[in-house]
């Protein structure tokens, strides 16, 4: 199941975020980075042309 939106914590504030790659059916993952901070990680399909261009 794809998840394209989530919430991240930045300095104690919870912010809704989302990302949809124009080139593939990406997933996103919320990664806790530490105390009160988490980031949005975008996971592209292996075949994504965007990924090929940005490696």
Residue 50 interacts with Zn ion (CB under 5 A): yes or no: yes
Separation of CA 26 from chain center: 9
- Residue 5 CA to residue 17 CA, distance in Å, equals 6
Task: Report 17-46 residues binding Zn ion (CB under 5 A).
Answer: 21, 23-24, 26, 44
Which of 48, 52, 54, 55 touches Zn ion (CB under 5 A)?
48
Beta strand 13-18 with 27-34 is: unpaired
Between 13 and 54, name the residue whose CB sits nearer to Zn ion. Answer: 54
Chain residues binding Zn ion by CB under 5 A are 21, 23-24, 26, 44, 48, 50
């Amino acid at each position: 199941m794809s998840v394209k939106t989530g919430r991240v914590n930045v300095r104690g504030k919870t912010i809704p975020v989302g990302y949809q790659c124009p080139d593939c059916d990406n997933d996103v993952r919320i990664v806790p980075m530490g105390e009160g901070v988490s980031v949005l990680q975008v996971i592209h399909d292996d075949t994504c042309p965007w990924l090929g261009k940005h490696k």
